[in-house]
Structure 1
Amino acid sequence: MSLREKQLASLLSMLNLNTSSSDQLVDVSEPVWKILVFDKVGQDILAPLVSVKELRENGVTLHIPLNAVHTPIPDVPAIYFTLPTDENVERISKDVESKLYGSFYLNFINPIARSKIEDIANAAVLSNDSKIVQKVYDQYCDFICLEEDLFAATGESGSFYALNTTTAQDTEITQTLEALTNTLFSALVQLQQIPIIRAPRNTAASMVAESLDKKLREHLRDPRNCLFTSSHSRPILIIYDRNLDLPTCLTHSWNYQSLVHDLLGITRNQVKVEESGAMKCYDLDGRRDTFWDGLRSAPFNQVAEAIQNELEEVRRAEEEVRRLKVEIGGVDELNEDLSSNTNRLSNAIKDLPALLEKKKMLDQHMNIATALLAKIKSRHLDNLYELETKLLQNPSQSILGLQGSYKDKIRLFLMYYILNNGQIASSEVDQFQTSLGSVPADDGKEPQDVFKQAFEFVKKWISLSKLNTSNAYSVHGGGVPTGNLINLQDDRSNIFSKIVGGTSFLMEGVRNLVFKKQALPLTRVVQELLDGQQTDLTSDYVYFDPKQIKQTTRNNQSFNEGIVFVVGGGNYHEYNNINDVVCKKNLTGAQTMGKQKKVTYGTSCLLNGEEFLEQLCMLGEETLSRS
């Protein structure tokens, strides 16, 4: 079972008062009707996994935030799903004391301290009902599952800014690292696996690795309360530090999922698209959306072609139904073809609900793709992507004179500066900064100020970094096109020319875009450590085995399964690159022939390019304010 399946099973069990461990929706003829109460983190965990329909199927008739105004509903059990914070426990205790609901089933995302359990027990005593609190559970669900093999930490404390700001107190950094340790521990409890842990030395990632190793060791010392059953499967856990690779967060990608995140924004598997002046929200859930599940990592041009082909298929099916209706209405009752046509029409009508659902799904992706195309054209992202892929192979490539938004230009220049290890003439920096003055800023910000702030931090980062970036990125890239890139600035190339009443559209000029897969820096690290190899890239990685009493490093050990966790922020570009290169998945999501690996990707937070640029600006502004 995948991490998402494991977490979903835990949540569905919780919704059924922890009476079922099935990973499927519980089918009961008379469900126990109940209320679900959650805090912000609980809501974030539930949202990508359990729909409102599934809540109702599991007997949840009302779901409300913990801090909302609650109306007393006696004789109805209430399920609470929250963090065990002081504020939350205080609110829960008040609800228990006032007997707001008939009974309470308390589920805490992280383990609750004994002192806080005593506070709840005192509230139960004051309620004069010793059985009002039925159960208290530690769920170990402190992470958000977004895909079968993708998860993120809860909260925002693990951002790149939070881990690098000079204004953070030591206690804040310690709390952040402890929170990330809890995230990884929860994921391992759900997976029931004790991994070998590797991390780059002298980084925040190695601090998390050491903390996790200590936590696992302490837990394994107490076999009576051990949460892990014996398992022969031991993956490698690679904890990576974002400070080792900034360009991956700045680069643009051409695959569907990365484009949606970068240009439209994905929040808890939802994307908002403007349609007819109003914002419409779409769910991007691979369990329910087969198109998204199969093509989210595919290049954008292939996705557009697939939408066209699928819509053509739907249109043909609709025409077949109409044709059969006409034929049946026009034939004599004695015609021997009547029975055959009637059966075919009956079967077509039975398939009609699925056909309409498929059309709805495709219309959703057509609207998303149309919104993406508008941004690609306005920001000239085809030319930008082409230049980036060339730059990653040849850092001396000229980047001046590019069209696009000022943020896209800044992201490109910062990549250029890093890939050249900061060895850029000051006159070239000044020339680029001056060129930003002619770019209008529709967000109210001064482009030159944004560049100055971000550039200040990148200069500092290069001066402090021990990484030889020119070598580290010599084969960096998300795919180099071997055909000609489409020219989206050409008005004659109308990629989404809609025909047949909007049920289909014509793709032109995009089918010649072929990608050569290349490994990003983290992908190459994962490849090496999974295969038990060691080069300069991984020679300085610390090694922890929580099951060993005395640590002995085994660098030549190979693995078929791995977990990657990026401290400081990850992105869909990196996630898809690992799937494509390491797991050898093809563009339809299926694994190709050959040696197969399974990798689960996690991160302290998911950032798109503009969000990462904003955090660089915040860090640079701090540096400038002190100078």
Structure 2
Amino acid sequence: MDVQALQRDVMRRMLSPPADAGALTWKLLIFDKRCMGILGSLFHVQQLQKLGVTVMMKLEDAKRERIEDTPAVYFIAPTKENIDRVAKDCKRGLYDTVYLNFCYPLSRMNLKDLAQQTVENGAHKHIAKVYDQYADFISLDRRLVTLNMPNSFCRLTRPKSDQALMSYVDRIVDGLFSILVTLQQVPIIRASPGNAAALAAERLHLKFRQHLMSRNNLFSGGLSAYKRPLVILLDRNMDLSVPLHHPWTYCSLVNDIFSIKSNKVDIPTEEKGDTATSASTKSYDLSSEDAFWDEYQGAAFPKVAEGVQKYLNEYNAKAEQLKKDQVGLSDLKSAVNSMPELMKKKRMIDAHTNIATALLKQLKERHWDRYFELEEELIQNMPPSFEDVLEQLQPDAKGTPSDKLRLYLIYSLLHNVSDEEDKKVKAHLKGYEAEGLDLSSLNFLKNHKMEQKFTAGLQDTTKKESSHASGGSSLFTFISDSVGARGKKLLQGVRNLIPADKSLPTTKLVEALMENKGARKSTARFLYFDPKLQGDGPVSGARRITTPFTEGFVFVMGGGNYVEHQNLQDYAKRASNPQVPVSIAYGSTEILSGTQFLQQLSTLGKPPSGGDVDDALD
């Protein structure tokens, strides 16, 4: 289940010439901000150029000028503002031929509006084709997608009104439908009950039912019962500890500390060069096309250090071999042909050495290993003493104020805190308000725990376990004090820190649903929808599929994270065998770091009467 590859194929077809239009070999590409994010996760500029794109422009750019004899391919959202811009372009005759591609279906009202605006002065003649592409989602990796809907946990937890909630859920359902159109499969839908996930599951089911009964059925090739995927919709409230946890895998660390945006990250550096985004940062692309990133993004940070050394040794060996082989003309020619690939590998090694070096600096300055250990013990249901947690909250303890608040929030979520302990902690945390720390998240946590008491029966099976290494020695005890030259090891002595395979709460639920044994208490109350069966409601046990699933798509309403994604990939790998591979994709309304999720909890902790939540969301 490679969602990214399938979406990339959709975009290639969009940019490829129709059979009857050879003139489309070269074209202009015009996109809005929304669709720029979609394209940016799929293609580099050079790849678009190979597809015949000569010029790329933003639809919002009012300074675009007329370009003759080259067709324009638009890839935009079908909003009223964009329809007005397209109509204006056609009236001005900016492009002789226009191919309109919308990332989600154009409504009848906007289609009528477009027709009226362009027919009035004959501008409609420029529009050759109009397509609905069902591509309104961002593929960050082969099995990782996001709808890129900011502040989703806030909007779902405290909507302005019932109508606002329904509208927001409908946006999510439209995005989910786009993903499933791309997969070309009619799924079985399961959802946790009594929350926004259940509402989304019901509306997604109805959307499928209506679509399957229409003449223009997009799933005509995917209606077989063989290998139907399982779509699992979950609510973020099921587990608030993992999104706050100090992570340990490469990708999660990079995102938590430096923030990955559209598969790009800016790393602090004192170097200056052509690729520097400023005098103090350098930008790096992180995608599956990067062999090192593809192999190590889900690995523990110490394993990343070993990986850098392995790649560096391979590079040095190859470079040395090329020097030895240069004795004749044919050898010289072979060496010249090998140089581009060798230089590409060196740039990759340099990039990840720089990223790992910057990470190591932050980890040591913030005493990251201590936060990881304490939170790890909590998540594994082996809580540390209150004194150990309190010690880490002291002013002389390393770490940012946010690090300390995240630790206490996890402690409070997974451990019964007495009133006396709570007072002591808040007294310490209040001292950080002068440094800008917002403690409003504590108010949200208090209300959340009160609500959880009424729904404790739904949490029986989600005892907090982690995918990390078991306790014991500090994560970075064996890490060397500094990063040496390229020919030396980046980090030292990390072999005994390989993590145990443990499942997070999300993964434990997914595992039970994928195995589909039907007797597990954890999933007995999960709703079950089958769009291929008659009826608008959930399906009873007698009509359900009883065989295990081998393909799954897990979607978290209210924000996901790289930690859960990687934990699901680890489970899929364990569950697979040569005869029956298991594939699981993961998606969410947005992909968050611990700091970003903390900000949303802080927003929700403020009183709604003050307008803080609405101001933060709008």
TM exceeding 0.5 = yes
- How far the C-alpha of 1:217 sits from its partner, in A, is 0.5
Cα distance 1:18–1:460, how it changes in 2: closer, same or farther (>3 A)?
A: farther
Pairing 1:90-105 to 2, within 5 Å after superposition = 90-105=84-99
Structure 2 residue identity aligned to 1:299: A
Q: Give 1:332's aligned residue.
A: none
Alpha-carbon distance between aligned partners in 1 of 2:135 and 2:447, rounded to the nearest angstrom:
37
Structure 2 residue identity aligned to 1:53: Q
Aligned partner of residue 56 in structure 1, secondary structure: helix
- How far the C-alpha of 1:41 sits from its partner, in A, is 1.1
Q: Give 1:152's aligned residue.
A: 146
Q: Give 1:575's aligned residue.
A: 565
Question: What stretches of structure 2 of length at least 5 have no aligned partner?
Answer: 271-278, 613-618
Alpha-carbon distance between aligned partners in 2 of 1:438 and 1:509, rounded to the nearest angstrom:
38
Alpha-carbon distance between aligned partners in 1 of 2:148 and 2:370, rounded to the nearest angstrom:
36
- How far the C-alpha of 1:510 sits from its partner, in A, is 2.5
Cα distance 1:189–1:322, how it changes in 2: closer, same or farther (>3 A)?
A: same
Pairing 1:74-153 to 2, within 5 Å after superposition = 74-128=68-122, 131-153=125-147
Q: Deviations over 1:259-286 (max 9, x none)?
A: 1111111111111101115211111111
- How far the C-alpha of 1:63 sits from its partner, in A, is 1.0
- How far the C-alpha of 1:129 sits from its partner, in A, is 5.3
Cα distance 1:132–1:265, how it changes in 2: closer, same or farther (>3 A)?
A: same
Alpha-carbon distance between aligned partners in 2 of 1:578 and 1:359, rounded to the nearest angstrom:
32
Out of 441, 458, 467, the residue aligned to residue 445 of structure 2 is 458
For the pair 1:516 / 2:509, whether they are aligned, the reply is no
Indicate if the aligned counterparts of 1:582 and 1:597 stay in contact, CA closer than 8 A.
yes
Structure 1 residue identity aligned to 2:484: K
Q: Give 2:551's aligned residue.
A: 561
Structure 2 residue identity aligned to 1:204: A
Alpha-carbon distance between aligned partners in 1 of 2:254 and 2:18, rounded to the nearest angstrom:
37
Q: Give 2:615's aligned residue.
A: none
Cα distance 1:426–1:18, how it changes in 2: closer, same or farther (>3 A)?
A: farther
- How far the C-alpha of 1:51 sits from its partner, in A, is 1.1
Structure 2 residue identity aligned to 1:282: Y
Q: Deviations over 1:172-211 (max 9, x none)?
A: 2111100000011111111111111110111100000000
Indicate if the aligned counterparts of 1:107 and 1:136 stay in contact, CA closer than 8 A.
yes
Structure 2 residue identity aligned to 1:163: L
Q: Give 1:336's aligned residue.
A: none
For the pair 1:606 / 2:591, whether they are aligned, the reply is yes
Residue-pair matches, total:
584
- How far the C-alpha of 1:624 sits from its partner, in A, is 9.1
- How far the C-alpha of 1:72 sits from its partner, in A, is 1.4
- How far the C-alpha of 1:346 sits from its partner, in A, is 4.1
Alpha-carbon distance between aligned partners in 1 of 2:457 and 2:376, rounded to the nearest angstrom:
20
Q: Give 2:30's aligned residue.
A: 37
Structure 1 residue identity aligned to 2:301: F
Alpha-carbon distance between aligned partners in 2 of 1:152 and 1:483, rounded to the nearest angstrom:
36
Alpha-carbon distance between aligned partners in 2 of 1:74 and 1:347, rounded to the nearest angstrom:
45
Alpha-carbon distance between aligned partners in 2 of 1:312 and 1:567, rounded to the nearest angstrom:
44
Alpha-carbon distance between aligned partners in 1 of 2:568 and 2:558, rounded to the nearest angstrom:
18
Alpha-carbon distance between aligned partners in 1 of 2:9 and 2:319, rounded to the nearest angstrom:
39
For the pair 1:46 / 2:47, whether they are aligned, the reply is no
- How far the C-alpha of 1:355 sits from its partner, in A, is 0.9
Out of 359, 365, 376, the residue aligned to residue 372 of structure 1 is 359
In the superposition, the TM-score normalised over structure 2's length comes to 0.89
For the pair 1:200 / 2:192, whether they are aligned, the reply is yes
Alpha-carbon distance between aligned partners in 1 of 2:476 and 2:124, rounded to the nearest angstrom:
72
Indicate if the aligned counterparts of 2:192 and 2:527 stay in contact, CA closer than 8 A.
yes
Aligned partner of residue 467 in structure 2, secondary structure: coil
Cα distance 1:224–1:597, how it changes in 2: closer, same or farther (>3 A)?
A: same
Alpha-carbon distance between aligned partners in 2 of 1:419 and 1:254, rounded to the nearest angstrom:
20
Q: Deviations over 1:15-48 (max 9, x none)?
A: 124559xxxxxxx9x9722111111111111001
Cα distance 1:392–1:226, how it changes in 2: closer, same or farther (>3 A)?
A: closer
Q: Deviations over 1:581-604 (max 9, x none)?
A: 23328xxxxx66686311111111
Pairing 1:95-494 to 2, within 5 Å after superposition = 95-128=89-122, 131-156=125-150, 159-165=152-158, 168-232=160-224, 233-276=227-270, 277-286=279-288, 288-324=289-325, 328=327, 343-398=330-385, 399-402=389-392, 403=397, 404-420=399-415, 423-437=416-430, 444-445=435-436, 447=437, 450-451=438-439, 453-465=440-452, 466-467=455-456, 472-481=461-470, 484-487=473-476, 494=480
Cα distance 1:456–1:623, how it changes in 2: closer, same or farther (>3 A)?
A: farther
Cα distance 1:141–1:427, how it changes in 2: closer, same or farther (>3 A)?
A: same
Alpha-carbon distance between aligned partners in 2 of 1:31 and 1:623, rounded to the nearest angstrom:
53
- How far the C-alpha of 1:320 sits from its partner, in A, is 3.3
Alpha-carbon distance between aligned partners in 2 of 1:364 and 1:65, rounded to the nearest angstrom:
30
- What is the alpha-carbon root mean square deviation over aligned residues? 2.5
Alpha-carbon distance between aligned partners in 2 of 1:18 and 1:400, rounded to the nearest angstrom:
66
Aligned partner of residue 400 in structure 1, secondary structure: helix
Indicate if the aligned counterparts of 2:381 and 2:464 stay in contact, CA closer than 8 A.
no
Alpha-carbon distance between aligned partners in 2 of 1:416 and 1:624, rounded to the nearest angstrom:
29
Structure 1 residue identity aligned to 2:603: M
Which shifted more, 219-228 or 363-372?
Answer: 219-228
Structure 2 residue identity aligned to 1:16: S
Indicate if the aligned counterparts of 1:405 and 1:439 stay in contact, CA closer than 8 A.
no
In the superposition, the TM-score normalised over structure 1's length comes to 0.88
Which shifted more, 610-619 or 305-314?
Answer: 305-314
Aligned partner of residue 86 in structure 2, secondary structure: helix
Aligned partner of residue 122 in structure 2, secondary structure: coil
